[in-house]
Amino acid sequence: MKIILTSFGRKYGQIEADIVLDVRCLENPFWVSELKEKSGLDAEVRDYIFNNPKSAEYLRTLSQLMRLQAQLACERSCQELRIAVGCTGGRHRSVAVAEFLAKELSEYEVEVIHTDIGKG
């Protein structure tokens, strides 16, 4: 089964997917001057978002849920599972979480698309 993970900025519109995740609840690096121009592909941004107890719990739970979702989709002989991950601008949090999920779901064929990483 193929999993397509798409990060996007909610301010640019919605994405068609089987599952749409809203990660605006995580810490936003946009408001930190030295991180604002970076993206969720940068280690400093990921560290800022992920390195606190609430984020760790969120990611652990999200990983378990998405692994179960993928397993159930496989059992139903689904060929593809589309997961969209949205934050405000599509540059920091959604990108970091999509990349995190790509690693967590690496036993499957995974494609990652960052639709809005270069906007804003």
CA 116 – CA 10 distance, rounded (Å): 9
CA 21 – CA 41 distance, rounded (Å): 18
CA 16 – CA 21 distance, rounded (Å): 12
| pLDDT tens digits for range 68-78 | 999 999 999 99
- pTM higher than 0.95 for the full model? yes
| pLDDT tens digits for range 5-49 | 999 999 999 999 999 999 999 999 999 999 999 999 999 999 999
